[in-house]
Structure 1
Amino acid sequence: MSESLNQLLADLHAERVRSWDPAPLNVNIEQRQRLVDEAPRRRFVQAGDTLNPFTLLDVEGGELHLDHLVSQGPAVLVFFRFAGCPACNIAIPYYERNLQPQLLARGVPLVAVSPQVPERLIEIKHKHGLTLYVASDPNNDLGRRLGILYQFDEASRQAAQAKGSSIGATTGTGTWELPQPTVLVIGRDRRVHFASVSPDWLVRTEAQPILDAVDALLVQPLPNRATA
């Protein structure tokens, strides 16, 4: 694939370096670096983990259940922060262009997941004309189970409050928690066969490794659901 997600995100950062005042730029850089340095990687969801049932809220109505998503084969979940996140507005359309067509051809659902409440989260689907699922993880329940949540540090909280806002007001969750960018490939056996978690939200998983993980799973024998 010729288009690189991480190059697009690097371009976003370069534009910020050119255009942002030093103080907010440093807050952004230091928060991301702290998340990398202090990442509790052993708590992150891992390949080989088996997931208990979960329910997500489709922004267009209805519910997405784990067992339904994997009933015909693997499913791919991509966790992102919220509809107005600039990096997410690069990453999710990138997956729409570079991953969704290939997954559709394979009959594999692609779900972009955020804790933002559905009535606000739907903005990103409409803005980019997404055909992939966009779903809300109510109260960050699944993100918490997967160990992928982080809290704004104090400098980031103060910067947001100085603008008269908080992330909890933006997402509708009332908290300072967000998921770190995460990609999961889940098999029919409800096992995680591929997991990629990035503490730095300007570094994310390219499409090709995800597609490779899906294809590796598709060639495996189907599990016996009676004994799984």
Structure 2
Amino acid sequence: MKLSDKLTMIQEQMAAQVPAEILAAFGESLQQLMASQPEEKALKAGDIAPDFAMNFNGESLSLTDLLKNGPVVINFFRGNWCPFCMAELEYYQALLSKQDGSMIDIEPQHQAIQFLFISPQKAEYHTALMDEKNFNLQFISDTHNTIAKKFGLVFQLDDQIQKIYKAIGADLSQFNGDDSFELPMPATYVIDPSGKITHAFLDANYMVRAEPDAFFE
């Protein structure tokens, strides 16, 4: 099953289980976001990726440091509370399960492609994913969406959606540790060792994601 098939199933489940008024609010908010064309402000293929520092396995490293070892795939996701993000992460975990969880050797280049999974939520929620789901992906906590802002991916939830998220247990002030109610558009970037973005997938519609299999071809 492709990731897109799984995401379609989640949409169908939500349509059957979530109250109509909440679905309508989600739909209206999403349409407004898409109409604003936030993708136009985001980095795209051909751009140079901004450097940034991160806590990588307890060590302070930069993107430049990682690129010395080969290409890097960066996946921006919203958080544990998002079922579409969880489906995407589970798909990546399955694909990387026979590797060390953070990189894979790709033929014919024989370069180790490193995968980073970045969200604005606090590190404790990434730890929970690793403990509860047995994930061994390389998670990075992007405090205040600092990295996502460099890629031009950040937007703010409207007041109505903020209230709905809180009501259904997705209190972003708790997950992310601030009251900005900002999120990154889900996006996937492939960055070559020179720092150039060679592939970029981003969509204001959080129910649409890149097919992970493409990075293993």
Query: TM-score if structure 1 supplies the norm length?
Result: 0.83
What is residue 88 of structure 2 aligned with on the other side?
91
What is residue 105 of structure 1 aligned with on the other side?
105
Shift of 1:184: 0.6
- Verify: 1:22 aligned to 2:17, yes or no: no
Shift of 1:100: 6.5
Higher mean alpha-carbon deviation, 63-72 vs 156-165, is at 156-165
1:14-38 superposed Cα distances (whole Å, 9 cap, x missing partner): 0111111111121222222222222
Which of 7, 28, 31 lines up with 2:29 in the alignment? Answer: 31
What is residue 203 of structure 2 aligned with on the other side?
198
Following the alignment from structure 1 to structure 2, what is the Cα–Cα distance between the partners of residues 138 and 64? 16
- Contact 1:53–1:66 at 8 Å: present in 2 too? yes
Q: CA, structure 1 residues 100+68, in 2 after alignment: closer, same or farther (shift >3 Å)? A: farther
Identity %: 25
Kindly provide the amino acid, as one letter, of the partner of residue 17 in structure 2.
Answer: S
Which of 121, 124, 128 lines up with 1:119 in the alignment? Answer: 124
Shift of 1:169: 2.1
- Verify: 1:182 aligned to 2:179, yes or no: no
Kindly provide the amino acid, as one letter, of the partner of residue 5 in structure 2.
Answer: Q
Following the alignment from structure 2 to structure 1, what is the Cα–Cα distance between the partners of residues 126 and 137? 14
Shift of 1:132: 2.2
What is residue 109 of structure 2 aligned with on the other side?
none
Following the alignment from structure 1 to structure 2, what is the Cα–Cα distance between the partners of residues 65 and 86? 30
What do you get for the CA RMSD once the two structures are aligned?
Answer: 2.1
What is residue 215 of structure 2 aligned with on the other side?
210
Following the alignment from structure 2 to structure 1, what is the Cα–Cα distance between the partners of residues 170 and 115? 31
The 3-state SS of whatever aligns with 1:209 is: helix
Question: Which structure: greater strand fraction?
Answer: 2
- Contact 2:143–2:176 at 8 Å: present in 1 too? no
What is residue 56 of structure 1 aligned with on the other side?
54
1:121-141 superposed Cα distances (whole Å, 9 cap, x missing partner): 322222222222011112211
What is residue 217 of structure 1 aligned with on the other side?
none
- Contact 1:152–1:176 at 8 Å: present in 2 too? yes
Q: Figure out how many residues of one structure are paired with residues of the other and give that number.
A: 209
Shift of 1:164: 7.8
The 3-state SS of whatever aligns with 1:45 is: coil
Q: CA, structure 1 residues 52+159, in 2 after alignment: closer, same or farther (shift >3 Å)? A: closer
Following the alignment from structure 1 to structure 2, what is the Cα–Cα distance between the partners of residues 178 and 121? 16
Higher mean alpha-carbon deviation, 43-52 vs 159-168, is at 159-168
1:131-179 superposed Cα distances (whole Å, 9 cap, x missing partner): 2201111221111111111111232023235568631222213320011
Structure 1 residue ranges without an equivalent (≥5):
213-228
Following the alignment from structure 1 to structure 2, what is the Cα–Cα distance between the partners of residues 89 and 114? 12
1:87-123 superposed Cα distances (whole Å, 9 cap, x missing partner): 1111111112235658513321111100112122322
Shift of 1:180: 0.8
Following the alignment from structure 2 to structure 1, what is the Cα–Cα distance between the partners of residues 191 and 169? 40
Structure 2 residue ranges without an equivalent (≥5):
107-111
Shift of 1:64: 4.0
Query: TM-score if structure 2 supplies the norm length?
Result: 0.87
What is residue 130 of structure 1 aligned with on the other side?
135
Following the alignment from structure 2 to structure 1, what is the Cα–Cα distance between the partners of residues 33 and 169? 24
- Verify: 1:41 aligned to 2:46, yes or no: no
